[in-house]
Amino acid sequence: MTKNINVIGKEGAHLMLSNLLRSWSSNLLTIAFSLAFTIASNAQVPHYIIADQDASGPGGSDMASLLIFLQSPKVNLLGITIVTGDNWRDVEIAHTLRLLELTGRTDVKVYPGAAFPLVRTQAWTNLSQQIYGKINYMGAWNQENKQAWDEVPSLEEGNPTTKPSVEDAAHFMVRMVHQYPHQVTIYGAGPLTNIAIAIRLDPHFAELAQQLVIMGGSLNPQTESEEWINTPRREFNIWFDPEAASITLTAPWAKITTTTIDASIQAHLSPVLHAIAQSQSIPARYLVKYAHHDGDLDYVWDELAAITLLDTAITRRERYVYMDVNLNHGPAYGDLLTWSDSRKPQLPLQKVHAQIDIDVPRLQKDLIELFTSPTPNAQNPVPLPAH
Ligand SMILES: [Ca+2]
């Protein structure tokens, strides 16, 4: 590559200096504005949050992320919306209702969402593995999950006595952004089916939200793990419902932030569980009792996206890129696509703040503090089963 070299005279040098000063003062102004904006947005407490989850339980990342919102005095959790992903919707609803009973937070309502992805089916996915190779993790569709989609077995943590709302997830989310325009954070830590349905129901939905925060996508994770070493752009939440993810990532949100696999695999939950093992707080006892101890499941997935929402300084490095999803029904169906400004296709895409590097000690400190605190507004928590 060759660069143009201009020989400049004295006048040119003056012009350059004045341009430089102008650009500095404009940069200073931008910094001042962004500082003011940051202070203003931090002052917007309590955060109105809707947590959209594939709430497989008991314990695990889905439930830990819900506990972060239930435990934080900064958060006004408007509701929890449920989507099939890690497990089937109906059993996830039961686990979530039970979590709310155990923490004494039945004031928070649970809204049933999509039972299936928009287009991808289990039958097609099973067949596609014969052509394109085995998928590492398929959530509700994992071979060992013998449960029917609408079957709710007896729960280890006890069966809930409360019921979900009759309103569905998408209508609830749309109603909330109209009730609190530009004040609601949509937190999506499962497949994005419910959020995509809300976007299609009401084209104003995304722009009326304050922001979208998701756990999803994978860029270039530094790992030897079987799940990403040959398929670094595949991440379950995006992969499970690629069409929903594409609809969601290309909608006109004021801001989109995502916790990627790149960031998640930098921290484990086990040091946090170890630190809270003796705590008598309800979330600590629940998380320690039902913790998953097997391999990759110990990474900090949805917890990271949730806690970063409350403490943005956890992010040490991010990439700010255009994002979409590969919708071709080939071997890369559901893989994340990203572009820089200079390579972006001529399509209405959105730029996404992709969390890449994190402050692990800060993350752990925040989680330990939250999980060992008393649960705000807890009313008559049901005792944890003794066995
Ligand atoms: Ca999840």
Q: What is the pLDDT of residues 357-379, one digit of tens each?
A: 999 999 999 999 999 999 999 99
Considering the domain architecture, whether residues 74 and 6 belong to the same structural domain is answered as: no
Structure confidence at residue 216 (pLDDT): 97
Model confidence over 97-107: pLDDT tens digits? Answer: 999 999 999 99
Q: Does a structural domain hold residue 376?
A: no
**Same-domain pairing of 248 and 359:** yes
* pLDDT level of residue 35 (50, 70, 90 thresholds): very low
Instruction: Provide the domain limits for residue 13.
Output: 1-45
What spacing in Å lies between the alpha carbon of 189 and ligand 1's midpoint? 4
Q: Give the CATH number for residue 204.
A: 3.90.245.10
Residue 381 lies in a domain: no
Residues 31 and 143 in one domain: no
Q: Report how far ligand 1's centroid is from the alpha carbon of 192 (Å).
A: 10
Which whole number is the average pLDDT over 213-236?
94
**How many whole angstroms from 163 Cα to the centroid of ligand 1?**
21
Residues 41 and 173 in one domain: no
Measured in Å, residue 15 CA sits from the centre of ligand 1 at: 55
* pLDDT given at position 46: 63
Ligand 1 centroid to Cα of residue 30, in Å, is 36
* 68 CA → ligand 1 middle, Å: 13
The Å distance, Cα 34 to ligand 1 centre, comes to 31
At 377 the pLDDT is 92
Tell me the pLDDT tens digit for each residue of 341-353.
999 999 999 999 9
| In-domain check, residue 386 | no
State yes or no: pLDDT of 3 exceeds 60.
Answer: no
Whether residue 2 sits in one domain with residue 103: no
Rounded to the nearest integer, the mean pLDDT of the chain is 90
- Specify whether 40 is located in the same domain as 168: no
Q: Specify whether 73 is located in the same domain as 27.
A: no
Q: Are residues 10 and 59 in the same domain?
A: no
302 C-alpha vs ligand 1 centroid, how far in Å? 6
pLDDT per residue as tens digits for the range 20-33 = 445 445 454 444 44
> Could you tell me the distance, in angstroms and rounded to a whole number, from the CA of residue 81 to the centre of ligand 1?
12
- The pLDDT value recorded for residue 298 is 87
Amino acid 227: pLDDT:
87
Cα–ligand 1 centroid distance for 4 (angstroms): 51
Distance 305 CA to ligand 1 centre (A): 10
Q: How far is the CA of 261 from the centre of ligand 1 (A)?
A: 13
Q: How far is the CA of 380 from the centre of ligand 1 (A)?
A: 27
* pLDDT, position 225: 87
Residue 63 and residue 26 share a domain? no
Does 91 map to a domain? Answer: yes
Q: Same structural domain for residues 89 and 192?
A: yes
**Per residue, what are the HEC states of the chain?**
CCCCCCCCCHHHHHHHHHHHHHHHHHHHHHHHHHHHHHHHHHHCCCEEEEEEECCCCCCHHHHHHHHHHHHCCCEEEEEEEECCCCCCHHHHHHHHHHHHHHHCCCCCCEEECCCCCCCCCHHHHHHHHHHHCCCCCCHHHCCCCCCCCCCCCCCCCCCCCCCCCCCCHHHHHHHHHHHCCCCEEEEECCCCHHHHHHHHHCCCHHHHCCEEEEECCCCCCCCCCHHHHCCCCCCHHHHHCHHHHHHHHCCCCCCEEEECHHHHCCCECHHHHHHCCCCCCHHHHHHHHCCCCCHHHHECCHHHHHHHHHCHHHEEEEEEEEEEECCCCCCCCCCEEEECCCCCCCCCCEEEEEEEEECHHHHHHHHHHHHCCCCCCCCCCCCCCCC
Residue 292 has a pLDDT of 80
pLDDT confidence of residue 123: 97
Tell me, in angstroms, the distance from the centre of ligand 1 to residue 275's CA. 23
- What is residue 30's predicted lDDT score, i.e. its pLDDT? 45
Within a domain: 234: yes
- Counted domains in the chain: 2
Distance 259 CA to ligand 1 centre (A): 12
pLDDT in tens, 49-92: 999 999 999 999 999 999 999 999 999 999 999 999 999 999 99
pLDDT at 339 over 80: yes
| Within a domain: 311 | yes
What's this model's pTM, rounded to 2 decimal places?
Answer: 0.88
Distance 217 CA to ligand 1 centre (A): 12
Ligand 1 center from residue 37 Cα (angstroms):
30
> Is 30 inside a domain boundary?
yes
User: How confident is the model at residue 278, as a pLDDT?
Assistant: 97
- The per-residue pLDDT for 178 is 98
Ligand 1 center from residue 149 Cα (angstroms): 17
pLDDT of residue 58: 96
**Are 35 and 177 within one domain?**
no
Greater confidence (10 vs 165) lies with: 165
Give the Å distance between the CA of 89 and the centre of ligand 1: 12
Summarised one tens digit per residue, pLDDT across range 178-213 is: 999 999 999 999 999 999 999 999 999 999 999 999
pLDDT digits (tens, 9 = 90+) for 249-308: 999 999 999 999 999 999 999 999 999 999 999 999 999 999 887 665 689 999 999 999
Task: Look at residue 226 in the predicted model and tell me its pLDDT.
Answer: 86
**Within-domain flag for 103:** yes
Same domain, 327 and 362: yes
| CA 213 / ligand 1 centre spacing (Å) | 12
